[in-house]
Amino acid sequence: MSSNRNLEPSSLSLNDLPWQIKYNNNRCTLCGQCTAVCPVKAIELKVFQKRTIKASIKKDAVPSNQYDSFYAIQQRTDVENACIGCAMCTMACPNDAIAPVKNPGLDRMKFHINQQGVPRRRGGRRNASGSILDRIKFTRISMLTDPALDAGRHEFEMRTLLGRVLSPRENMKRLREKGWIPPVRQIYPLIIGGMSFGALSPNMWEGLQMGVAYLNEEMGMPVRMCTGEGGCPPRLLRSRFLKYVILQVASGYFGWDEIIHAIPHMKEDPCAIEIKYGQGAKPGDGGLLMWHKVNKLIAAIRGVPQGVSLPSPPTHQTQYSIEESVAKMILSMSMAWGFRVPVYPKISASSTSLAVLNNLTRNDYASGLAIDGEDGGTGAAYSVSMDHMGHPIASCIRDNYLNLTKIGKQNEIPIFAGGGIGKNGNIAANAASLIMLGASGVQIGKYLMQAAAGCVGTEEDRCNVCNLGICPKGITSQDPRLYRRLDPENVAQRIVDLFVSFDTELKKIVAPLGRSTSLPIGMSDALGIDDHAIAKRLNINYVV
Amino acid sequence: MKTSDYIYISGKKENKRIPSRVLEEIILKQIKSGNRKLEIDAFGQHGIGGRLWEATDKTIIRILGHSGQRTGSMGNANTTIEVMGPASDDIGWLNAGAQIIVHGNASNGAMNGAAQGKVYIGGNIGARAMTMTKHNPRFKPPELWVLGTAGDYFGEFMAGGIAVICGQNSQAKNSILGHRPLVGMVGGTVFVRGEVNGFSQKDAKIIPMSDKNWKWLVTNLEKFLNKIKKPELMTTFSDRSAWKILTSKTPQEKANGSEKASISWFKTQVWDKELGQGGLIGDLQEVEKGSIPLIARAKLRRYIPVWEQGKYISPCQAGCPTGIPVQDRWAMVRADNIDEAIGMGLSYTPFPATVCGYLCPGPCMASCTRNLASMPPIDVRLLGRAGKDLPPPLPNNKKSKKKIAVIGAGPGGISAAWHLTLKGHTATLFETSNTIGGKISSAIPDSRIPGQTLDTELRRVKDLIADIRLEQEIDHTKFSKIKKDYDFTIIAAGAKKPISLPIKGIEMTIPANDFLETAKQNPPKIGKKIVIIGAGNVGCDVATEAHRLGARQITLIDVQKPAAFGQEKEDAQKCGAKFKWPVFTKQITSKGVLLQGGELLSADTIVISIGDIPDLGFIKDTLTMENGFITVDKNGCTSDPRIFALGDVVGPGLITDAIGGGKQTALYIDQIIAGKKPDQAKPLPVINQNRICLEYYDPRNQADGLSDCGADCASCGNCRDCGICVAICPEAAIERKTLAESEFEYLVDPDRCIGCGFCKGACPCGIWDLVPNTPL
């Protein structure tokens, strides 16, 4: 940096940056790997000067001064090249000479990230590590009371129902009268939430799908995956694997023409149709695929021009009320598959979620409700939406479930919870908490990316560049130079690992509760928390 | 009821069942008194026959009636128990050596937790038998023999011992061992006659029947059948093929997991088969498959280095209005081509020594990248001055027949005529005064330029340009004639008309140019006090000259912050000139300058130096003008395509601006004459100075000689051919290639390069850049 430059308001020093590169020149072998892998070019080789002064007060000695130059890695301080903390440099460094470290002081870059008047956009997460779900304990442990079960030896029915379950009386009546009975799927309660082909790289998406197929066909676990809003590759639509897929339709209707063309050729019905109305990470804002990621392949699958940013409208453009949405969308989608496929909406958690649920309870065609909480992830959103908009999932699920119990329909319409499940790694405990608060199943996204593909994101604003297509792990990039770092087979293997281990953990939680024949949906007497206000709000035990 | 030599103990007293505690007391009393054969008519009492530690020799307990739970629990090695009917839960619980025979079925939990002893069951057993059994190496392993079948969850957490399940009269269709046996098994052996399904694959495995095992089984089966009084079944049970052995998996086997299909197998045999070759999007994309390493080469690099020699011009060159490629000259100095470095000045300017060496304020040096690090710019004046005695260059010997008239032999006009002549055209200079050089000769004080230098360079001009016509009065008629006689006409008449002020007494002031001209040729008497209105560089020259002529109280006044800078201002200050601003002149009186506000600056001489405007009466509205200046495009072309204008007639500027304008116009006219479409290409962009690396230079060094200056020039955007990139490249991907005529280039081997950008980071001159690779 020139010493003679003028300071500008956004002139930052290393001290101002959220991530600082700690570099050990003694260990560095100048191999260039760190600068070659850095996704944002935050580091570069730099020539430095070193001055040596030889001085002596001896008689005849002439003090001298000498400049030498040396080479080292330097971190850049401009906003667009600020280190994102992904630590790919550390990953690449053969000598452990370099690593990003979170600045313990104030992140002053925050105040300058709106250059040219564009507010910060990012991918990833809310970057708030607190989690009510992590604080919930399972306090009802059966020992000499209920049959104490052993997760290792007992058989557990870890399945949930996706679809409208009629009341026994109504069901019998329709059977007698040969009436229509809504489709119901028995699925695994841990569902891969909607992440689009486009938001994710082809290798990531294929790895996820392959892992899901393996779990179904080799492990007998009926795991389902939602496509997200970005269409579905034509081959998958025409394969038997489609039955493991929940097709998502959202306000952009991307890729739906391909789906329509495939319907006559489908070997299997899809598991379900999810109508996306909102996303927990950015409620009230539509999907956003930034132009960096819209390459030839994505453009083809979505039916759009290459290299353009693809925002989805915040609302479905032809629907103006809950009633209209329910009537139009659920009916249209049900009709497309002859009323054989469950259709349900997905909304962002909101203080108005109850209104949606109440509406759905009055409509037989509504197969469920998915609610996405504020801790949900996203491929791209304005930071302000991610940081300040949204509703926590726990109380929203609880309110909705209790409302169902009030009207006696808690066994009839399933609620699925999403957003922040496993955000700190405690996936089974978080899922079990939500199930016991009333969810019939949970949807996960970020956890998968971390566990199955090595996403480096944390709740500390680390990496978060999913929107830019420069994902250093190749998870959310459409650049073959990046996504080919990720092998779909390895992703599939990790998906299998994580579902199998989740299954064991979930059993370790439900076994001591004495539940083996069905999921403990709404079994809130098993839950406790060490905060009186939360306990009261969630209607669970206060334990200290 | 007493039979044989057994001591009979009834579990009832006075028709009431006696408590387990009391029966235990009775049994222990009998043992203590030395009795070793007891027959107990039980009524469901707990734990009968166990814990007979005091019996140091063989003891037999025969149980009639209802044996209670945990019969024989914690049994002693000397104890034999024979249950004549069925047994209740947990028979042989925590057995430590007792032999127990049951002639009927046993319910749940047989042998649970046992570590020694043998239990023989002449019927079926309930759930969770043989669970958590052990084998202590100090003793023989525990054995459980069952004639019929076992109930669910058999052998859970079994850690040792032997179980033999004969499966006689099995009601279960497909598993002799019930539902989900052997979960958590870590040791022991189970012999089973018949089908076994659903056992924990994670923990147990079926192994082949070895001869040794078979021999052991046959021998002990006979004993078992005798104990339960069914020896006739031996023939049925002797079918070796009906038997299986299950043992625990080793920890290694458990760690390897159960035999699951690999993902690779699944991908090729299931996934790709269902979807088609290439998987999910094999039909949509041609991108190569297969994973790539983190550090990739060739087309898989995200960034690639480019050697951008000749893509940019240096800041000094861009800063020079005459466009002299200053850094090229220093490169020549470094290559010991000093003569060429000096000589090339004449290809750009007729006045290398006069202007570059003395009069030019040096925009090139002001643009020098070294300023960014507060290092002194390279002193280009040295190169300029060294050109003083250069002979005139040789013009293009292919003479064109085109004639160009240049009106005005100031620096701009001379420059135009100079370049036209060099290009082989005939240029005629028309000058109103009796000398060439314009203001350089007439108005600039001798202190700023050694007269000899100027004379030498003017002589060279005269040597090159044959047709110089002095004392030519140019009026409209003459102008019209010139226009007609010549193919092109260039107006470079300069700005000679002083700007005046509409105030009283203005006629008592002397215009600055008149003052300077007479000061040089015919010094007037000016007195001690002089006030100069207008504190620009010309005002400063006036101040310096006035001092030379004896003035001692010199005041420069201005309405705004003085525009003077550089050498002129320094010289004036050295003469003690005072700057006064902002002040506004109200009137000129015989005593001096009266300011608004009433202050009088007394003066013997008052010079007005607020600028000059061109005197262009001769063109008489034939050309488009603006604010008294001729309107031109960037090539100097006026509204008449055959008439060009440059220098002060198009706007005030530096000498170098006029020289540059002359060159630009000359080259443009040359292209028109050559019939070429004038080069409209944008000039090369200036290199981003942040690319230059100044850390290689000693910031304390003040280069003074030519070779020192050459060494310290950062050579912005112009490869020094230092080879640092070759040395720094960690992959040895960069190679220097020699081309013809001492030219060279640096090449990158894409198969080695990893796109680290080290070449860019280390390059002293900013030649290397790192750019995103072409999208795949």
Residues near A532 by beta carbon (within 8 Å), at least 6 away in sequence: A542
For the cut 50, the answer to whether the pLDDT of residue B1 exceeds it is no
Within-domain flag for A123: no
Residue A236 contacts B, CB cutoff 8 Å: yes
Contact of B50 with B31, CB cutoff 8 Å:
no
Is the Cβ pair A480, B287 closer than 8 Å? yes
**A3 interfacial to chain B (CB closer than 8 Å):** yes
Give the one of B290, B689, B758 whose C-beta lies nearest to A32's C-beta. B758
Owning domain of residue A75: 14-118
The mean pLDDT value for B290-313 works out to 95
H or E stretch at B666: helix B655-673
* Residues 44-63 in B contacting A (C-alpha not used; CB under 8 Å): none
- One domain for residues A314 and A364: yes
* A90 CB within 8 Å of a chain B CB: no
Name the phi and psi angles at A257, rounded to 5: -65, -40
Domain assignment present for A4: no
Task: Dump strand ranges (E) for B454-591.
Answer: 467-469, 488-491, 495-498, 510-511, 529-533, 553-557, 578-580, 585-588
Q: In a structure prediction context, what are the per-residue pLDDT tens digits for chain A, which is 544 residues long?
A: 455 678 888 899 999 999 999 999 999 999 999 999 999 999 999 999 999 999 989 998 899 999 999 999 999 999 889 999 999 999 999 999 999 999 988 889 999 999 899 999 999 999 998 999 999 999 988 877 666 667 766 678 889 999 999 999 999 999 999 999 999 999 999 999 999 999 999 999 999 999 999 999 999 999 999 999 888 999 999 999 999 999 999 888 888 999 999 999 999 999 999 999 999 999 888 778 888 888 888 888 888 888 888 888 887 777 777 777 777 899 999 999 999 999 999 999 999 999 999 999 988 899 999 999 999 999 899 999 999 999 999 999 999 999 999 999 998 999 999 999 999 999 999 999 999 999 999 999 999 999 999 999 999 899 999 999 999 999 999 999 999 999 999 999 999 999 999 999 999 998 888 777 789 999 999 999 999 999 999 999 999 9
> Which of A88, A118, A148 is the last residue before a domain boundary?
A118
Tell me which chain B residues have a C-beta less than 8 angstroms from the C-beta of A44.
757, 760-761
Q: Are strands A160-163 and A184-187 parallel, antiparallel or unpaired?
A: antiparallel
Point out the domain boundary residue: A118, A141, A156. Answer: A118
Is the domain of A527 the same as that of A460?
Answer: yes
Nearest CA-CA partner of B594 in B501, B497, B519, B498: B501
Q: Name the band, by pLDDT with cuts 50, 70 and 90, for residue B681.
A: low
Contact B693 A49 (CB under 8 A): no
In chain A, what residues touch B296 (CB-CB under 8 Å)?
Answer: 481
Tell whether A376 and A499 lie within a shared domain. Answer: yes
pLDDT value of position A420: 93
Q: Hey, what are A261's tokens?
A: 């063309």
Q: Chain B partners of A235 at a C-beta cutoff of 8 Å?
A: 275-276, 279-283
Taking only the tens place, the pLDDT of each residue in B629-646 is: 999 998 899 999 999 999
Cβ neighbours of B484 (radius 10 Å) = 8
Q: Report yes or no: B156 at the A interface, CB cutoff 8 Å.
A: yes
- The minimal CB distance from B302 to the residues A210, A219, A481 is found for A481
CB proximity under 8 Å: A 334-393 to B:
none
CB contact under 8 A, A213 and B266: yes
Rounded to whole angstroms, the Cα distance separating B645 from B614 reads 12
**Residues A46 and A158 placed together within one structural domain of the fold:** no
Distance CA A195, CA A202 (A): 12
Q: Indicate yes or no: CB of B292 within 8 angstroms of CB of A484.
A: yes
Strands B426-430 and B403-407: parallel
Mutate one of B266, B286, B367 to test the A interface: name it (highest A CB count within 10 A): B266
A92 Cβ under 8 Å from any chain B Cβ: yes
| Close Cβ partners of B266 (under 8 Å, ≥ 6 residues apart) | A210, A213, A214, A217, A218, A492
CB contact under 8 A, B775 and A217: no
Residue B178 with chain A: CB contacts under 8 Å: none
What is the domain-level CATH number for residue A146?
Answer: 3.20.20.70
Chain A interface test: which of B291, B688, B689, B702 (most A C-beta within 10 Å): B291
Phi, psi of B222 (to 5 degrees): -60, -45
Residue B655 in this model has a pLDDT that exceeds 70? yes
- Tell me which residue of A243, A299, A239, A290 sits closest to A269, measured CA to CA: A243
CATH number at residue A29: 3.30.70
Helix axis angle, A446-453 to A202-218, nearest 10° = 90
Q: Kindly state whether residue A328 falls inside one of the protein's structural domains.
A: yes
Domain co-membership, A300 together with A409: yes
Dist. CA B448–CA B454, nearest whole Å: 11
A323 and A179 co-located in one domain: yes
Tokens 């101040």 belong to B543
* Per-residue burial over B274-310, b = 16 or more CB atoms within 10 Å of its CB, e = otherwise: bbeeebbbbebbebeeeebeebbbeebbbbbbebbbe
Distance, in Å, from the CA atom of B103 to the CA atom of B85, rounded to the nearest integer, reads 5
Cβ of A5 within 8 Å of Cβ of B372? The answer is yes
Nearest to A159 by CA among A445, A441, A371: A441
A127 lies in a domain?
no
* Interface test mutation site (partner A, options B695, B722, B724, max chain A beta carbons within 10 A): B695
Quote the Cα angle for A36-A41-A46, to 5°.
80
Cross-strand bridge partners of residue A245: A225
Pick from B88, A338, B44: which is nearest to B100 by CA? B88
Residue A9 covered by a domain: no
Close Cβ partners of B154 (under 8 Å, ≥ 6 residues apart): B127, B128, B129, B130, B131, B163, B165, B177, B178, B181, B182, B190
Residue A502: in which H helix or E strand, if any? helix A488-510
As a whole-number percent, the residues of chain B with pLDDT over 70 amount to: 99
CA distance B661 to B666: 8
Give the list of residues 6+ apart from residue B325 with CB closer than 8 angstroms, or none. Answer: B313, B314, B317
- The C-alpha atoms of residue B30 and residue B55 are separated, in whole angstroms, by 10
Locate the DSSP E strands across B284-392: 303-307
Residue of A nearest to B304 (CA): A36
- Give me the residue label for tokens 């992904």: A86
CA distance A143 to A156: 18
CA distance B678 to A352: 71
B255 in reach of chain A (CB within 8 A): no
- Closest C-alpha to A344, from A362, A326, A328, A358: A326
Question: Is A492 found in the same domain as A382?
Answer: yes
Same domain, A58 and A206: no
Q: Measured between alpha carbons, how far is residue B659 from residues B62, B492, B565, B653 in Å?
A: 132, 10, 21, 10
Adjacent-strand bridge partners of A382: A121
**A266 at the B interface (CB within 8 A)?**
no
Least CA distance to A154: which residue of chain B? B180
Q: Closest residue of A to B771, CA-based?
A: A41
- A108 shares a domain with A146: no
Residue after which a domain boundary falls, among A118, A152, A180: A118
Q: Which of residues 356-395 of B touch A (CB under 8 A)?
A: 371-374
Asked, for residue A341, whether it belongs to a domain, the answer is yes
> Taking all residues of chain B, what is their mean pLDDT, rounded to a whole number?
92
- Nearest Cα residue in chain A from B691: A1
Give the closest-approach CA distance of A196 to chain B in angstroms: 14
Domain count, chain A: 2
Token pair, residue B673, equals: 């004459």
- What CA–CA distance (Å, rounded) separates A287 from A313? 7
| Residues on chain B touching A92 (C-beta within 8 angstroms) | 294-295
**Band (B56; pLDDT cuts 50, 70, 90):** confident
Percent of chain B with pLDDT over 90: 75
- Residues in B closer than 8 angstroms to A217, CB to CB, are 266, 270
Contact criterion met (CB < 8 Å) for B730 and A30: yes
Amino acid letter, residue A237: L
Cβ-defined contact of B292 to A300 (cutoff 8 Å): no
CA angle B202, B205, B208 (to 5 degrees): 170
Q: Is residue A506 part of a domain?
A: yes
A509 & A435 share domain: yes
At B64 the pLDDT is 94
Whole-number Å distance between alpha carbons of B488 and B480: 12
CA–CA distance, A376 with A372 (Å, rounded to integer)? 6
Domains and CATH numbers, chain B: 105-256 (2.160.20.60), 261-290 (no CATH), 403-495+614-673 (3.50.50.60), 500-610 (3.50.50.60)
Residues making up chain A, counted from first to last:
544
Q: Apex CA B402: angle with CA B401 and CA B407, to 5°?
A: 140
Point out which residues pair with B106 in neighbouring strands.
Answer: B87, B125
Distance from CA of B203 to the nearest CA of A (A): 11
Evaluate whether residue A408 is within a structural domain: yes
B306 touches chain A (CB under 8 A): no
> Hey, are the CB atoms on B695 and A49 less than 8 Å from each other?
yes
CA distance A303 to chain B (A): 13
In order, the DSSP letters of B701-732 are ----SHHHHHHH---TTS-----HHHHH-TT-
Please give the Cα distance from A285 to A386 (Å, whole number). 10
pLDDT digits (tens, 9 = 90+) for B400-446: 888 999 999 999 999 999 999 999 999 999 999 999 999 898 888 88
* Mean local confidence (pLDDT), B524-552: 90
Of B274, B293, B775, which is closest to A240 when you measure between CB atoms? Answer: B274
**What is the DSSP-derived secondary structure letter of residue B350?**
S
**A245 close to B (CB below 8 A):** no
Give the residue among B179, B141, B144, B140 at the shortest CA–CA distance from B164. B144
User: Do A373 and A440 lie in a common domain?
Assistant: yes
Judge contact between A339 and A366, C-beta under 8 A. Answer: no
Choose the mutation target among A29, A210, A267, A456 for the interface with B, i.e. most B CBs under 10 Å.
Answer: A210
* CB-nearest partner of B696 from A35, A47, A214: A47
Clarify whether residues A109 and A171 are in a common domain: no
Question: Which of B:171-200 have CB within 8 Å of A?
Answer: 180, 183-184, 200
